[in-house]
Structure 1
Amino acid sequence: MNKKILDVLKGYSKLSLEEKAILKKHIQRLDNTGIDGKKIIIKALSESVGPLDSNACSCCGR
Protein backbone atom coordinates (compact mmCIF):
# COMPACT_ATOMS: atom_id res chain seq x y z
CA MET A 1 0.00 0.00 0.00
CA ASN A 2 1.38 3.41 -0.89
CA LYS A 3 1.59 6.49 1.37
CA LYS A 4 -1.43 8.24 -0.21
CA ILE A 5 -3.68 5.27 0.51
CA LEU A 6 -2.37 4.98 4.07
CA ASP A 7 -3.00 8.70 4.66
CA VAL A 8 -6.57 8.39 3.38
CA LEU A 9 -7.25 5.27 5.47
CA LYS A 10 -5.84 6.96 8.55
CA GLY A 11 -8.17 9.92 8.05
CA TYR A 12 -11.13 7.66 7.27
CA SER A 13 -10.59 5.71 10.48
CA LYS A 14 -11.01 8.94 12.47
CA LEU A 15 -14.46 9.70 11.00
CA SER A 16 -17.72 9.00 12.78
CA LEU A 17 -20.22 6.60 11.21
CA GLU A 18 -22.28 9.55 9.94
CA GLU A 19 -19.21 11.21 8.41
CA LYS A 20 -18.23 7.93 6.74
CA ALA A 21 -21.71 7.61 5.20
CA ILE A 22 -21.50 11.16 3.83
CA LEU A 23 -18.02 10.54 2.45
CA LYS A 24 -19.15 7.33 0.75
CA LYS A 25 -21.98 9.22 -0.99
CA HIS A 26 -19.51 11.83 -2.26
CA ILE A 27 -17.09 9.16 -3.47
CA GLN A 28 -19.91 7.37 -5.32
CA ARG A 29 -20.97 10.64 -6.93
CA LEU A 30 -17.40 11.33 -8.02
CA ASP A 31 -16.96 7.78 -9.37
CA ASN A 32 -20.19 8.05 -11.37
CA THR A 33 -19.35 11.44 -12.88
CA GLY A 34 -17.84 11.83 -16.33
CA ILE A 35 -14.30 13.14 -16.80
CA ASP A 36 -15.45 16.76 -17.30
CA GLY A 37 -17.57 16.62 -14.16
CA LYS A 38 -14.65 15.20 -12.19
CA LYS A 39 -12.42 18.07 -13.31
CA ILE A 40 -15.00 20.59 -12.09
CA ILE A 41 -15.46 18.82 -8.73
CA ILE A 42 -11.71 18.44 -8.14
CA LYS A 43 -11.07 22.09 -9.05
CA ALA A 44 -13.82 23.26 -6.68
CA LEU A 45 -12.44 21.09 -3.87
CA SER A 46 -8.90 22.36 -4.44
CA GLU A 47 -10.06 25.96 -4.25
CA SER A 48 -12.44 25.67 -1.31
CA VAL A 49 -10.98 23.02 0.98
CA GLY A 50 -7.70 23.23 2.82
CA PRO A 51 -6.24 22.67 6.26
CA LEU A 52 -8.01 24.50 9.08
CA ASP A 53 -4.78 25.16 10.96
CA SER A 54 -1.30 26.36 10.03
CA ASN A 55 0.01 22.87 9.23
CA ALA A 56 0.19 21.72 5.62
CA CYS A 57 -2.30 19.07 4.56
CA SER A 58 -0.62 15.68 4.22
CA CYS A 59 -2.83 14.79 1.21
CA CYS A 60 -2.54 17.89 -0.98
CA GLY A 61 0.37 19.80 0.56
CA ARG A 62 -1.65 23.02 0.97
Structure 2
Amino acid sequence: MGTDAKLLSACAAAWVLVDGQICCAKCRQRQPLAEAEEQFSHAPGCEADEHPRVQLHDLPERER
Protein backbone atom coordinates (compact mmCIF):
# COMPACT_ATOMS: atom_id res chain seq x y z
CA MET A 1 0.00 0.00 0.00
CA GLY A 2 1.40 3.43 -0.98
CA THR A 3 1.97 6.29 1.44
CA ASP A 4 -1.10 8.23 0.25
CA ALA A 5 -3.30 5.14 0.61
CA LYS A 6 -1.96 4.59 4.14
CA LEU A 7 -2.68 8.23 5.07
CA LEU A 8 -6.20 8.01 3.66
CA SER A 9 -6.79 4.71 5.46
CA ALA A 10 -5.58 6.19 8.75
CA CYS A 11 -7.85 9.19 8.25
CA ALA A 12 -10.85 6.96 7.54
CA ALA A 13 -10.12 4.96 10.70
CA ALA A 14 -9.86 8.09 12.87
CA TRP A 15 -12.77 10.16 11.54
CA VAL A 16 -16.32 9.38 10.44
CA LEU A 17 -18.76 11.64 8.58
CA VAL A 18 -22.21 11.56 10.20
CA ASP A 19 -25.07 13.79 9.03
CA GLY A 20 -22.80 16.61 7.87
CA GLN A 21 -20.57 16.40 10.92
CA ILE A 22 -17.09 15.02 11.42
CA CYS A 23 -16.99 12.52 14.27
CA CYS A 24 -13.97 11.24 16.19
CA ALA A 25 -13.98 7.43 15.92
CA LYS A 26 -12.60 7.11 19.47
CA CYS A 27 -14.66 9.51 21.60
CA ARG A 28 -17.58 10.16 19.21
CA GLN A 29 -17.44 13.93 19.68
CA ARG A 30 -18.86 15.73 16.64
CA GLN A 31 -18.26 19.01 14.87
CA PRO A 32 -20.20 20.44 11.91
CA LEU A 33 -18.18 20.48 8.68
CA ALA A 34 -18.98 24.20 8.41
CA GLU A 35 -16.80 24.68 11.51
CA ALA A 36 -13.87 22.67 10.16
CA GLU A 37 -11.39 25.48 10.79
CA GLU A 38 -12.44 25.79 14.46
CA GLN A 39 -10.81 23.91 17.33
CA PHE A 40 -12.07 20.32 17.61
CA SER A 41 -13.06 19.39 21.16
CA HIS A 42 -12.50 15.74 21.96
CA ALA A 43 -14.13 14.17 25.00
CA PRO A 44 -12.04 14.30 28.19
CA GLY A 45 -9.49 11.48 28.18
CA CYS A 46 -9.71 10.85 24.43
CA GLU A 47 -6.45 9.49 23.07
CA ALA A 48 -7.01 11.16 19.70
CA ASP A 49 -5.83 14.68 20.29
CA GLU A 50 -5.65 15.62 16.61
CA HIS A 51 -7.74 18.04 14.65
CA PRO A 52 -9.56 16.41 11.71
CA ARG A 53 -8.55 19.27 9.43
CA VAL A 54 -4.95 18.11 9.54
CA GLN A 55 -5.82 14.81 7.90
CA LEU A 56 -8.92 15.71 5.91
CA HIS A 57 -7.74 19.02 4.49
CA ASP A 58 -4.02 18.53 4.02
CA LEU A 59 -4.25 15.09 2.38
CA PRO A 60 -6.08 16.37 -0.75
CA GLU A 61 -3.60 19.26 -0.94
CA ARG A 62 -0.84 16.74 -1.62
CA GLU A 63 -2.75 15.56 -4.69
CA ARG A 64 -3.03 19.01 -6.34
| Coarse TM-score class (shorter-chain normalised) | under 0.3
Larger Rg: 1
Q: TM-score, normalised by structure 2?
A: 0.27
Between 1 and 2, higher relative CO (CA 8 Å, sep ≥ 6) is seen in 1
Question: Is the strand fraction higher in 1 or 2?
Answer: 2
